[in-house]
């Protein structure tokens, strides 16, 4: 009787209770429909969520709560976490009730204090984020420094290789031809009256060939040294590839005839490139000289051009000895150790090919080689059209 009386007495104060619960900052209330739609949330619960409460921000999840078997309204009692992956979570001691198609969440907490703690955690999270960004920046700076150090180390290695190559040429390749010139000239100076005309001509040809090879080497060496010192800048003009290739053919024809090698042209006469004429001449000359060196008598060397969309493709092909596959990628490198005698025992340094690569790249082109051992090689490079 007393209980009934008390309940009826409290009904007179239901409006006051409802108002107090709605405005309470220590008692959290949220009412959801069974499909997750928010029907009501008091001020304390809204403070915890920082925005409109959503069923997706609950743990245990809303789906898990509604899947629980229930024989009485109370379906969960324990610690309920509120939050999502983008924020710091908070938790409350809560009871969850189900009645028909509605879910009621009740929790007791000091919402203002918890919200303040949550804000502090957000601040800490921002500080951690700032620290992470700073660490990432420091990491990037370190990576850049390591990259620069690696590049500097590569440059140092290349400089050392350049120095070694230079001294090797001075010590051997430049000295040896003079030994030949001096030897044959001494013999002629002392014994010319006793030699036949044929023998004198033979010695004269030996001296001439040695002198020509030495002069070509000196030309390459001087151009290479100017390039290393940064004193060689391309002077771009409109250049006719057919004209330059024909000049090279005339220049190299005596070498081809001496080895009985056919030196042919297959040129597109209508195209022009934007290039340094002297550099282009040096590239084609060195490639043709190299091809003649490694081609047997009765063989063929050809200079050809092809008209591409933006570039002109130059091809210097031969029917020579070819190149081993393991040397193809490093053939234009300063530290490549490939140095073979030609088919007529001609000596070489590999400097001509290195110079070709430098000159082609100075003119915004690319150079590469395709070769099959025993069948010959094709040296190809591109120069932009005029």
Per-domain residue ranges of the chain: 2-109, 115-165, 233-384
* Per-residue model confidence as pLDDT tens digits over 8-59: 554 555 666 666 666 666 788 888 888 888 888 888 787 776 655 666 667 7
Q: pLDDT at residue 298 above 60?
A: yes
* Per-residue model confidence as pLDDT tens digits over 229-286: 776 788 899 999 999 999 999 888 888 988 999 999 999 888 999 999 988 998 999 8
C-beta neighbour count of 364 within 10 angstroms: 14
Q: What's the confidence (pLDDT) of residue 4?
A: 46
Query: How many whole angstroms separate alpha carbon 77 and alpha carbon 327?
Result: 76
* Per-residue model confidence as pLDDT tens digits over 155-192: 777 667 656 666 655 655 566 667 778 888 888 888 88
Q: What's the confidence (pLDDT) of residue 360?
A: 95
Q: What's the confidence (pLDDT) of residue 30?
A: 87
Q: What's the confidence (pLDDT) of residue 328?
A: 84
Instruction: Reduce the secondary structure of 121-141 to three states and give it as a string.
Output: HHHHHHHHHHHHHHHHHHHHH
Task: Identify which has the larger pLDDT, 364 or 49.
Answer: 364
325: three-class secondary structure by DSSP: helix
Across residues 76-95, what is the average pLDDT? 72
Domains 2-109 and 233-384 share a fold: no
**What's 233-384's CATH class?**
alpha beta
Q: pLDDT at residue 339 above 70?
A: no
Q: pLDDT at residue 223 above 90?
A: no
**What's 2-109's CATH class?**
alpha beta
Across residues 57-80, what is the average pLDDT? 80
Helices (H) and strands (E) in the chain, counts: 11, 13
306 beta partners: 313
């Amino acid at each position: 009787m007393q209980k009934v009386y008390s309940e009826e007495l409290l009904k007179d104060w239901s409006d006051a209770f409802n108002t107090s619960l709605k405005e309470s900052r220590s008692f959290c209330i949220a009412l959801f429909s069974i499909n997750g739609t928010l029907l009501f949330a008091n001020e304390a619960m809204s403070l915890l969520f920082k925005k409109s409460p959503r069923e997706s921000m609950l743990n245990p999840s809303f789906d898990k709560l509604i899947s629980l078997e229930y024989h009485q309204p109370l379906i969960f009692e324990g610690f309920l976490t509120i939050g999502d992956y983008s924020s710091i979570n908070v938790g409350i001691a809560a009871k969850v009730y189900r009645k028909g198609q509605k879910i009621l969440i009740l929790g007791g907490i000091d919402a203002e204090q918890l919200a303040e703690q949550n804000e502090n955690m957000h601040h800490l999270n921002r500080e951690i984020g700032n620290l992470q960004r700073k660490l990432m920046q420091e990491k990037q700076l370190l990576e850049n420094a390591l990259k620069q150090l690696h590049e500097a180390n590569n440059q140092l290695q290349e400089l050392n290789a350049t120095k070694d190559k230079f001294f090797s040429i001075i010590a051997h390749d430049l000295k040896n031809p003079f030994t030949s010139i001096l030897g044959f000239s001494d013999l002629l100076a002392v014994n010319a009256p006793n030699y036949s005309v044929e023998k004198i001509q033979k010695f004269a040809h030996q001296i001439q060939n040695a002198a020509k090879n030495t002069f070509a080497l000196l030309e390459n060496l001087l151009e290479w040294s100017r390039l290393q010192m940064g004193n060689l800048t391309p002077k771009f003009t409109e250049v006719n590839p057919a004209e330059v290739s024909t000049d090279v053919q005339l220049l190299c024809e005596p070498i081809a005839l001496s080895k009985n090698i056919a030196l042919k042209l297959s040129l597109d006469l209508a195209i022009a490139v934007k290039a340094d004429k002297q550099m282009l001449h040096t590239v084609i000359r060195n490639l043709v000289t190299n091809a003649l060196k490694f081609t047997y008598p009765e063989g063929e060397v050809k200079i050809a051009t092809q008209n591409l969309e933006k570039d002109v493709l130059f091809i210097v092909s031969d029917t020579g000895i070819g190149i081993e596959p393991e040397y193809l990628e490093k053939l234009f490198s300063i530290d490549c150790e490939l140095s073979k005698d030609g088919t007529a025992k001609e000596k070489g340094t590999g400097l001509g090919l290195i110079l070709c690569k430098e000159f082609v790249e100075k003119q915004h082109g690319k150079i590469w080689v395709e070769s099959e051992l025993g069948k010959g090689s094709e040296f190809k490079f591109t120069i932009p059209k005029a």
